[in-house]
Structure formats: structure tokens, C-alpha cells
Amino acid sequence: MDIKPIIDTLNTGLFIDGQWRSAEGGKSIEVHNPATGETITTVADGSAADAEAAIRAAGEAQADWAATAPRERAEILRRAFELLTERADDIAAVMTAEMGKPFAESKGEVAYGAEFFRWFSEEAVRFDGEYAQSADGKTRVMVSREPVGPCILITPWNFPLAMGTRKIGPAIAAGCTMVFKPAKLTPLTSFMLVDALIDAGLPAGVLNVVTSDSARRVVTPWMESGIARKVTFTGSTEVGVNLLKQAADSVMKTSMELGGNAPFVVCDDADIDKAVAGAVQAKMRNGGEACTSANRLFVHSSVAEEFSTKLADRLGSMRVGNGLDDGTEVGPLVDQDALDKVSSLVDDAVAKGAKVLTGGKRIEGKGFFFDPTVITDVPADCEIRTTEIFGPVAPIVTFDTDDEAIALANETEFGLASYLFSENLERALGLADRLEAGMVGLNTGLVSNPGAPFGGVKMSGLGREGGKVGIEEFLEIKYIATPRS
């Protein structure tokens, strides 16, 4: 698939106050294809001064934007949903080229990401307030919801469209203006997202986008601006913790979607074929580069051999290659660092006694490819048991009792997604209650859903995105008291 004609039509500058412009000094950064190592194009390398211009524009646009009718905001989102859907093939091709996931998965992400715009177009006209009289009958208590104000949006490279729409959708619905910094590895998908919003009629200043070689150079002026009232971040726990510390200085509202270390528990009464299909989905979606990815598979010892053999057969037969080629099921990892990290986690486990059922090594040659891998008998002191793998590797550990399974699953500082397979509903719900996680996939390997509250507990984050509560993150409560006569 030739993506050059699409790339040639893209705006790749900074988008500030309704205008595309170059970065200060005309600086740019290269965007690479992880399947080939080739440079796709260059995008603007924003400076601190560019970032300041962006947050000023967001601040100046806030009052007018907050005053627009909810229906107007809803209709912009609805049109943008339709434009993303119409442009799905082009967006997916560009996403695959810059991020690596197979084209079919990129199309799936466009559909998933666009749904956040449709969902929040419907929510924009539905958020309400409260009215009550005080207990002594002397006061009218009126409670309304207002937009928080200008928001800072920071997104990662692994879901370059959906992580943006999951924040932009509710911010638009609530009436907040935004400054947005997409990941430097995958800015092109974000530009296509911005184009859809511009074409849908988003007013100048509401969304301002700055790409940069240095995240800190752009984000710090925003955090210290005194203009932004909220930061919503998706990315690593380490960066999230730093942002929380910075946000404290101005008592800024925060939403944090951070790292995961998802347990995938297979009970002795599970339907093994269903569990294997769920594991393929939970492990191999996005090539394992997902915060929800099954990171540690805990399987009852009585079914471990059957489960491991079937999973290894499935992963071992997946076609690895350039995501733009027909039939590719697993693309490359995003860069050399990601490949080195996955390799070293597997090497460490094998050196400590883990057995490789399939895969286990990087694929030599162009691009950052790692063989889909299943390892068993993974000792407790392996780094892979505590670290987010972010690659196509399934480490399997056995257990004998439910208590043991729960202890293993919860033995992590993270708490984003978790998965549980059992055909006994009562037992499964009891175990789900005991999992320390924001989300539980019960007999399914997929939890992401625009209509559901996505988010984690413990070091996996604060707040929820999507669902009915998603818009609350962008609203402040105001209470007006007036005497009752």
C-alpha cells in the first residue's frame, strides 16, 4: 500500500488559534516507519514559545466556547465522527505506517476511536444539575456543572487516534478548550484527527496542537501557565507521577491513565478454547503494546498443559510482518528500545529457568520484529513477572487454589485491566470482586468500550475515561444558594 499520496496532503505543522504554522525557527522532527526504518515525513518541532502561544489561545477561547450551546458542540462531534469514519482507510494506513500495527487493527482503532466522538456527542446534551431545598427549608440549593476550563492533553503512541478522541470528545462535550501534545513517534494520526475536527467546524482556539522533540519543553510551560485548569495524561506511570507533582503546584485537576500489568486467570472450570481465544485477544491486540495487555497468565495446574499448548500453537502460527502487507497479523514493535526491552525480559526469564514453547527471539533484519512467544515455568524472581512487557510475549505461571490465584494476580503495584475465565458464574463474580483492578474481563479478552468507564486503581491511574462518568472529569460543580421565602 502506497501512503505517499496521503502523506503529501497532510498538514504537519503546529495548529494554534485556528491556523497551521511552522515551529519557531522552522525546526522539525522525523517520523519513521518501524517496519522498515524509513523516514515517512517530518513534523514541526515546537518550542517553549510555541507552547505558550498555544495555551494563550486556549485561554482566550475558553469563555466563548463554554457559552456555546451544548447542541452545537454535540453536532461538531457528530460530524467529526462521520468524517473519521469516512476517512478510516487513509487514517488506518497512516497509523500503520507510523506505529506498526496491522492495517486491519488500525481500522479497528479508527472505528473504536471515532465512537468516542459519537458517544460524547450524545452526552454533551445530557449532563444535568440538581435542585433541592435545604433541610431547614430556608434555602434553595441549585447545583450546576460547568466546564473545568482549558485542559492539557498528553497522549502516547500505542493508540494514536483513540487516546486522543477519548480525551478530546468529552472536553468538547463539556465546553473545555485544549492544548494537545501527541506522542512524537505517532503525530501523523493526530493531525488527521485534527483535520476531521476542523472540517467539522471546531472554532479557532478550542483545540491547539503542538508536537515536539522534547515533551518537557512544551508541557512545562503549560503546567506553569496559570491558564490550564486540568491535565489529562495517558502514558507511563513514571511520567504520570511527575505530572501529578507539577499539577499540585497549581492545584490542577488531573486524570491519569497509566501503566498496567494485567493478570489473566484461567480457572480449572474454564472453557479452555474460549480462554485461549481470550488470551490471544488480550495478549496480541496491538502486538502486546497495550496498557490492557495480558502481562501475566495464571493457569490452574490441571489445565495448564492444554492451555499452554493451544496458546503456543495459535501464537506460533501468527503471521509477522509489515502491517501494510495483506495477511499480516503481528506488526513490528515501535522502536529499537522497545525491541531491546522485550528481548532482555525474555532472555532474563530463560536464563532463570523459563521454558520457551514458541518464539523467544527477535527477528533479524529490517524493522523491530519479535516472534510471538509463549514461555512457561517462569520463576518468581524474573523481571517479566513485575514489568509491563509491551510486546508479544505470554509468560505462564500455574496455581492450585483460588486464593493463590488472587494473591498472584494482586501481587503488583498496578491495577488497570484483569481477566478471568471460569464457567461458574458465582465463583467468577466472587473472584472478580477480589481482583485489585479498575476493569475485569470476565470470559472475554477485550474490555475497551466507549460506553464503559476505562481506568485503573493503584499505580495505574486516577479517574475514568469513557462511559457516563467520562464527561465528569471535564466538569466542575457549582452550587448557588438563594433564600426561600
Near ligand NAP by CB under 6 A, which window of 96-104, 113-121, 257-265, 314-322? 257-265
Three-state DSSP at 483 gives strand
With CB under 6 A as the contact rule, the residue among 116, 117, 157, 419 that binds ligand NAP is 157
Concatenated DSSP letters of 59-120: HHHHHHHHHS-HHHHHHHHHHHHHHHHHTHHHHHHHHHHHH---HHHHHHHHHHHHHHHHHH
How many Cα atoms are found within 13 Å in the side-chain-facing hemisphere of 228?
32
Query: Do 455 and 470 meet the contact criterion of CB atoms below 8 Å apart?
Result: no
Shortest gap between Cβ of 234 and ligand NAP (angstroms)? 5
Three-state DSSP at 191 gives helix
Contact pattern from residue 43 through residue 82 relative to ligand NAP, giving x for each residue in contact according to CB under 6 A and a dash for the rest: ----------------------------------------
Cβ closest to ligand NAP, residue 336 vs residue 424: 336
Binding status of residue 466 toward ligand NAP by CB under 6 A: no
Cβ closest to ligand NAP, residue 92 vs residue 416: 416
Binding status of residue 415 toward ligand NAP by CB under 6 A: no
What distance in Å separates the CA atoms of residue 82 and residue 356, rounded to the nearest whole number? 46
Catalytic hit among 151, 176, 291, 382: 291
**Per-residue DSSP letter, 320:** B
Binding status of residue 216 toward ligand NAP by CB under 6 A: yes
In the range 85-144, which residues lie near ligand NAP by CB under 6 A?
A: none
Contact pattern from residue 217 through residue 256 relative to ligand NAP, giving x for each residue in contact according to CB under 6 A and a dash for the rest: --x--------------xxx--x--x--------------
Binding status of residue 388 toward ligand NAP by CB under 6 A: yes
Query: Do 326 and 349 meet the contact criterion of CB atoms below 8 Å apart?
Result: no
Give the Cβ contact number of residue 381 at 10 Å.
11
Catalytic hit among 98, 105, 123, 257: 257
Cβ closest to ligand NAP, residue 88 vs residue 154: 154
Shortest gap between Cβ of 267 and ligand NAP (angstroms)? 26
Residue nearest to ligand NAP (CB): 235
What is the total residue count of the chain? 485
What distance in Å separates the CA atoms of residue 326 and residue 1, rounded to the nearest whole number? 9
Shortest gap between Cβ of 203 and ligand NAP (angstroms)? 25
Shortest gap between Cβ of 482 and ligand NAP (angstroms)? 41
Query: Do 302 and 457 meet the contact criterion of CB atoms below 8 Å apart?
Result: no
Cβ closest to ligand NAP, residue 235 vs residue 392: 235
Residue closest to 392 by CA, chosen among 306, 282, 310, 304: 282
Contact pattern from residue 444 through residue 463 relative to ligand NAP, giving x for each residue in contact according to CB under 6 A and a dash for the rest: ------------x----x--
Q: Does the annotation mark 257 as catalytic?
A: yes
Burial label, 480 (beta-carbon count in 10 A; 0-12, 13-18, 19+): exposed
Near ligand NAP by CB under 6 A, which window of 77-85, 158-166, 368-376, 423-431? 158-166
Cβ closest to ligand NAP, residue 149 vs residue 160: 160
Shortest gap between Cβ of 142 and ligand NAP (angstroms)? 35
Binding status of residue 184 toward ligand NAP by CB under 6 A: yes
CA distances from 375 to 287, 295, 309, 372, 378 (A): 16, 12, 11, 10, 7
Query: Do 438 and 416 meet the contact criterion of CB atoms below 8 Å apart?
Result: yes
Residue closest to 392 by CA, chosen among 253, 288, 318, 272: 288
Cβ closest to ligand NAP, residue 183 vs residue 266: 183
First to last CA, the chain: 72
Shortest gap between Cβ of 27 and ligand NAP (angstroms)? 14
Number of amino acids touching ligand NAP (CB under 6 A): 28
Near ligand NAP by CB under 6 A, which window of 15-23, 48-56, 151-159, 353-361? 151-159
In the range 261-300, which residues lie near ligand NAP by CB under 6 A?
A: 291
- Tell me the backbone φ, ψ of residue 3, rounded to 5 degrees: -95, -5
Cβ closest to ligand NAP, residue 242 vs residue 410: 242
Kind of pairing, strands 178-181 and 207-209?
A: parallel
Binding status of residue 181 toward ligand NAP by CB under 6 A: yes
Looking at 362-436, which runs of residues are DSSP E strands?
373-376, 393-399, 414-415, 417-421
Shortest gap between Cβ of 484 and ligand NAP (angstroms)? 45
Q: Does the annotation mark 224 as catalytic?
A: no
Binding status of residue 196 toward ligand NAP by CB under 6 A: no
With CB under 6 A as the contact rule, the residue among 154, 275, 304, 384 that binds ligand NAP is 154
Shortest gap between Cβ of 284 and ligand NAP (angstroms)? 16
Shortest gap between Cβ of 167 and ligand NAP (angstroms)? 10
Concatenated DSSP letters of 220-263: HHHHTSS---EEEEES-HHHHHHHHHHHHHTT-EEEEE----EE
Query: Which residues are within 8 A (CB) of 237 and not within 5 positions of it... i.e. 6 or more apart?
Result: 258, 259, 414, 459, 460
Q: Which residues are catalytic?
A: 257, 291
Residue ranges binding ligand NAP (CB under 6 A)? 154-159, 163, 181, 183-185, 215-216, 219, 234-236, 239, 242, 257-260, 291, 388, 416, 456, 461
